[in-house]
């Protein structure tokens, strides 16, 4: 929902904290999830994730989530799907060139990132979206990434 996602951006710092907790919690659950099998978890978790993130961020389930680097404003809501915005077409009132009634997703991203502790991530260049991940759970993917990183650093 448009209003909810704008509200989230205004509270980006709180959502950053919640997201960090969520990540830590899920990483702790890794041994359990591994036992159940990620493959088996994929579908139910993706449905749950879609519900939560759909409500909060108007998530499009690209599966390649970059919310923490975009001020908690989902860049897939940009009509041009720009992962490194804002484009040069932003109207003088800060609205989108394609949808004049909508606030530019990247205006929000810049605003949101400024109150986040890891807000500097907005300056990193985002690589092209991996479209094979469409519809899959970004949370489960992230957990596995973090676990792999932890294992590598402990070696």
Partner 1 sequence: MIFHDEPTPGEMLPILEGHTSAGRLERVLRAGLFAVTSELSPPDSADPQEVYDRAQIFDGFVDGMNATDGSGANCHMSSVGMCALLTRIGYAPIMQISCRDRNRIAIQGDVLGGAAMGVTNMLCLTGDGVQAGDHPQAKAVFDLDCMSLLETIRGMRDKGEFLSGRRISTPPKVFLGAASNPFAPPHDFRPYRLAKKIAAGAQFIQTNYCFDVPRFKEFMARSRDLGLLEKVFILPGVGPMASAKTATWIRNNVPGIHIPDTVITRLAGAKDQKREGQKLCVELIQQLSEIEGVSGIHVMAYRQEEAVADIIKCSGVLQGRTPWYPGRDQQRLQESYKT
CA nearest neighbour of 138 among 77, 29, 50: 50
Q: Among residues 10, 22, 84, 115, which is the contact residue for partner 1, using CB under 8 A?
A: 84
Q: Among residues 123, 132, 154, 155, which is the contact residue for partner 1, using CB under 8 A?
A: 123
How big is the CA angle at 44 (ends 7 and 67), to the nearest 5 degrees?
30
Give least dist CB 103 to partner 1, A: 11
* The one segment of 34-42, 54-62, 77-85, 142-150 that binds partner 1 by CB under 8 A: 77-85
* The one segment of 34-42, 47-55, 60-68, 85-93 that binds partner 1 by CB under 8 A: 85-93
Give least dist CB 126 to partner 1, A: 7
Q: Among residues 88, 132, 154, 155, which is the contact residue for partner 1, using CB under 8 A?
A: 88
**Cα-flanking dihedrals φ and ψ of residue 25, to 5°?**
-60, -45
DSSP-derived secondary structure for 34-85: HHH-HHHHHHHHHHHHHHHHHHHH-----SS--GGGTTT--GGGSTT--SS-
**Binding to partner 1 by residue 110, rule CB under 8 A?**
yes
**With contact defined as beta carbons under 8 Å apart, do 135 and 61 qualify?**
yes
**Binding to partner 1 by residue 94, rule CB under 8 A?**
yes
Q: Tokens at residue 136, please?
A: 């899959």
Residues near partner 1 (CB under 8 A) are 79-92, 94, 97-98, 104, 107, 110-111, 122-123, 125-129, 131
């Amino acid at each position: 929902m448009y209003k909810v996602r704008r509200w989230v951006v205004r509270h980006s710092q709180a959502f950053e904290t919640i997201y960090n907790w969520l990540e830590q919690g899920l990483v702790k659950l890794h041994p359990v999830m591994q036992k159940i099998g990620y493959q088996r978890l994929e579908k139910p978790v993706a449905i749950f994730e879609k519900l939560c993130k759909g409500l909060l961020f108007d998530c499009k389930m690209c599966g390649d989530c970059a919310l923490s680097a975009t001020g908690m404003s989902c860049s897939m809501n940009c009509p041009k799907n720009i992962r490194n915005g804002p484009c040069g077409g932003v109207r003088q009132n800060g609205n989108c060139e394609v949808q004049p009634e909508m606030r530019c997703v990247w205006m929000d991203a810049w605003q949101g990132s400024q109150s986040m502790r890891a807000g500097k991530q907005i300056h990193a260049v985002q690589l092209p979206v991996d479209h094979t991940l469409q519809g899959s759970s970004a949370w489960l993917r992230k957990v596995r990434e973090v676990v792999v990183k932890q294992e590598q650093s402990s070696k």
